[in-house]
Amino acid sequence: MVHDGDDPYLVVAADKGTATFSDYANEISLAHGFWLGDAFASGGSAGYDHKRLGITARGAWECVKRHFREMGVDIQTQPFRVTGVGDMSGDVFGNAMLLSPAIRLAAAFDHRDIFLDPSPDPAASFAERKRLFGLPRSSWADYDRAKISAGGGVFSRTAKSIPLSPQIKALLGVDVDALPPADVMQAILRCETDLLWFGGIGTFVRDSQESDDQAGDRANDALRVAAAELKAKVIGEGANLGLTQRARIEAATRGIRLNTDFIDNSAGVNTSDEEVNIKIALEPVIASGRLSREDRNRMLAGMSEEVAAAVLANNHGQSLALSLAERNSTQDIAHLTRLARQLEERGLIDRKLEALPSGTEIAARAAAGGGLTRPELAVLLSWAKIALNAELVASTVPDTPEAEGLLQCYFPEALRAGYRQDIAGHRLKREIVATGITNAIINTGGPAVMVRLGAETGEPAPVIVQAFLAVQTIFSVPAMWAELGRLDGKVPAPVQLDLYAALQDLAIGETVRVLKHRGGQSFADVTARYQPATGEITASMPGILPPAERARFDAEARRLSGSGVPADLATRLAGLGLVRRALPLVEHAAEGGAGVAETARVVFAAADFLCLDELKSRAAALPAADDFDRQAIEHALAILDGANHKICARMLQDPSARGVPLETWAAKHASELLAAKPLLAKVLAEPGLSISRLGVIADSLRAAA
């Protein structure tokens, strides 16, 4: 149910079994002049055929590919074993089993038959699966037995017993000559496989502590197995409720890679959303006579692959967000705990119902160095999006001038080209913008990003969102994020995730800085003030760096290039830590009168001359016996920062210092700085740094500055 002012309306998203009712519903809507027109129900004769597009399977396959990619396996080219539930006539199972020529489908079952092919030939079996997919109402019984490897076959579920060849026994890991069909299907679920794919109806896996009654699928009680029995490396849930949520969590704790059904198979509903919103945009155009319904239908069909690409990008983005959340789960456990508590306090979730750990359980995990599992993070990710979306719709953020660009980008190019004004008048434009912003924030920042930024800055969600979007623009985060996405399978997954994490850290850290230091500036002014500076610093790298910093920069750029990152992107990513200094550098530039690039050169040179990074690093490792020691360390570091600032200010205000090395300028204008250098070198040459030595260095540099 969606509300438009005082006018509530229901949008029907039809699934395979109810698709014929879409046309009936839309005919009634049109006959009554309802403003939704034939956008009342998705699908139908003038909508996207999900099976023809294969969109649900393709979306879930994006998630499966990520699991394997992070294991160092390319399932589009490297043969891998698949077992599963479903048949080739089914939308989700049939489409999925044609998404890679490297699939070795060894075992599957549906409500009629059991298919066993112990050692399949990838090419021959792919061709046969494709034939079955195109055969109306096909079943495994239609599979050409000549294409099945030795010892395999197709067996009816109504048989009293199924004979097991040596090859089948090896495949299923059993040591008997025959089994009832139910036992064979259980063995398929339990056997060793690379991918266990759920494409059929039913809940087949429960948690070890759950009963079959708790699984809530009486029809499959005789087939259900416990998560502890699974030997799959990856599980893909193209269908709904292949596992209970507790079973997913148990499987994840045992090292199986999986998400949840609502993450994996979200592409179908997403496609329905896209279809309905396109139809809503064009309904007034049809009503005005500028476009016929037939031409609209042809346009809709012509945009199908662009719509599919946008939907698949969402699956890619969500699965990536989960990988980053899982990677950081242990260190982010406090933020995730706070998120769960806030969602519960707002009445959005019931922890027990969602199978989320209690505060006590989370504390125990944290004490043991653990975090949340991927299925648990999937729940928090989804509810974090729901919570943020609601806050945005209730705010003025969707009404800002910047929101217009987000609205237009939601729609396919052909629609934007001819109907820009009609899109601008969309009845659900605020909801579309809010959804787009929500995905941009949570997919980039992680499920707990709003909780974390709220705690650190004290700002409300709408303000945090605007700051986060401004920072993304200032530092070109979306562009680099997209470029990293195009490197899937081209660079090692750990390297790629590290780089995504670096961008995530930049976006979060600089959002805090903007919120704390923007003063009364609007976010548009903040963006206009700082974006050119980041571009200038990036373009000036590595020429503005002192020798030691440049050596580190060059080494990192070479490392990234050697991992397969394109040279230009490697250069930008290698300089992320330095570009993060752009915001204070703008203030330095304004104070000193030099350009941003020259200011950066001076600031980097001064920090290098004073060995600030090394001093701060060693100071952070100093043991503090009491609070006085900690205050002494912090006082010394503050003096060092002040000395650095004064040296930079003197150089930037002196026109003779433009483009001159710091040592050259100091020899003429600040010889006391050069005199302090030997003391600094002597202290840093020794293995230890004491609080007293840190204090002496700070006093010496303060006097020199």
| pLDDT tens readout for residues 268-322 | 999 999 999 999 999 999 999 999 999 999 999 999 999 999 999 999 999 999 9
Which residues are CB-neighbours of 552 under 8 A, at least 6 positions away? none
| pLDDT of 11 strictly over 60 | no
Whether 516 and 569 share a structural domain: yes
Within a domain: residue 55? no
Q: 197 by DSSP, 3-state: which?
A: strand
| pLDDT of 1 strictly over 70 | no
Q: Please report, as a single letter, which amino acid is at residue 193.
A: T
Whether 103 and 234 share a structural domain: yes
Q: Say if residues 370 and 412 touch (Cβ distance below 8 Å).
A: no
Q: Say if residues 72 and 493 touch (Cβ distance below 8 Å).
A: yes
Alpha-carbon distance of 366 to 355, in angstroms, equals 18
Q: Say if residues 118 and 170 touch (Cβ distance below 8 Å).
A: yes
Within a domain: residue 443? no
Mean pLDDT of 591-605: 85
Alpha-carbon distance of 438 to 433, in angstroms, equals 8
| pLDDT of 223 strictly over 70 | yes
Q: Would you give the DSSP letter of residue 358?
A: P
Q: Say if residues 224 and 215 touch (Cβ distance below 8 Å).
A: yes
Whether 574 and 608 share a structural domain: no
Within a domain: residue 329? no
Whether 142 and 206 share a structural domain: yes
Least reliable range by pLDDT among 36-40, 270-274, 425-429: 36-40
Alpha-carbon distance of 36 to 3, in angstroms, equals 13
Domain boundary among 217, 233, 265: 265
| pLDDT of 350 strictly over 60 | yes
Domain boundary among 265, 289, 315: 265
Mean pLDDT of 459-486: 97
Distances (CA, A) of 195 to 74, 77, 106, 257, 455: 13, 15, 10, 10, 41
Whether 574 and 644 share a structural domain: no
Domain boundary among 220, 247, 265: 265
The reported pLDDT for the residue numbered 117 is 98
Q: Which residue has the higher pLDDT, 433 or 598?
A: 433
Average pLDDT over the chain, rounded to an integer: 92
| pLDDT of 475 strictly over 60 | yes
CA atoms within 13 A on the CB side of 156: 3
Whether 122 and 216 share a structural domain: yes
Within a domain: residue 246? yes
Q: Which residue has the higher pLDDT, 459 or 44?
A: 459
The reported pLDDT for the residue numbered 548 is 87
The reported pLDDT for the residue numbered 251 is 98
Q: Which residue has the higher pLDDT, 29 or 386?
A: 386
Name residue 156's beta-bridge partners: 113
Polymer length of the chain: 705
Q: ∠ at Cα 368 (366, 374), nearest 5°? A: 60
Q: Say if residues 432 and 399 touch (Cβ distance below 8 Å).
A: no
Mean pLDDT of 228-254: 97
Whether 7 and 84 share a structural domain: no
Q: Would you give the DSSP letter of residue 15?
A: -
Whether 184 and 248 share a structural domain: yes
The reported pLDDT for the residue numbered 641 is 84
The reported pLDDT for the residue numbered 31 is 85
Distances (CA, A) of 177 to 164, 171, 173, 560, 674: 5, 13, 12, 55, 87
The reported pLDDT for the residue numbered 17 is 40
Q: 232 by DSSP, 3-state: which?
A: strand
Within a domain: residue 376? no
The reported pLDDT for the residue numbered 7 is 47
Alpha-carbon distance of 322 to 326, in angstroms, equals 6
The reported pLDDT for the residue numbered 16 is 43
Q: ∠ at Cα 81 (80, 83), nearest 5°? A: 145
Within a domain: residue 361? no
Q: Say if residues 48 and 277 touch (Cβ distance below 8 Å).
A: no
Other residues' Cβ atoms within 10 Å of the Cβ of residue 428: 18
The reported pLDDT for the residue numbered 6 is 45
Least reliable range by pLDDT among 204-213, 420-429, 476-485, 589-598: 589-598
Mean pLDDT of 547-575: 95
Whether 132 and 205 share a structural domain: yes
Helices (H) and strands (E) in the chain, counts: 34, 14
CATH code where residue 92 lies: 3.40.50.720
pLDDT digit string, tens, across residues 133-167: 999 999 999 999 999 999 999 999 999 999 999 99
Q: Would you give the DSSP letter of residue 257?
A: B
Q: 489 by DSSP, 3-state: which?
A: coil
pLDDT digit string, tens, across residues 88-111: 999 999 999 999 999 999 999 999
Least reliable range by pLDDT among 26-30, 132-136, 147-151, 203-207: 26-30
Q: Which band of pLDDT confidence, cut at 50, 70 and 90, is reported for residue 655?
A: confident
Handedness of CA 674, 678, 680, 685 (dihedral sign): positive
Mean pLDDT of 345-367: 91
Distances (CA, A) of 469 to 105, 461, 463, 478, 583: 45, 12, 10, 10, 16
Which residues are CB-neighbours of 16 under 8 A, at least 6 positions away? 50, 51, 91
Token duo for residue 536: 């200038």
Q: Which domain holds residue 670?
A: 601-705
Least reliable range by pLDDT among 221-235, 275-289, 392-406, 690-704: 690-704
In 3D space, the residue among 217, 252, 272, 245 whose CA is nearest the CA of residue 44 turns out to be 272
Whether 651 and 535 share a structural domain: no
| pLDDT of 595 strictly over 90 | no
Whether 671 and 704 share a structural domain: yes
Q: 243 by DSSP, 3-state: which?
A: strand
| pLDDT of 415 strictly over 90 | yes
The reported pLDDT for the residue numbered 230 is 98
Q: Which helix (H) or strand (E) holds 162?
A: strand 162-163
| pLDDT of 612 strictly over 70 | yes
Number of domains in the chain: 4
Distances (CA, A) of 396 to 21, 378, 407, 467: 38, 28, 15, 14
Within a domain: residue 130? yes
Alpha-carbon distance of 361 to 358, in angstroms, equals 5
The reported pLDDT for the residue numbered 19 is 53
Within a domain: residue 368? no
The reported pLDDT for the residue numbered 640 is 85
Whether 524 and 639 share a structural domain: no
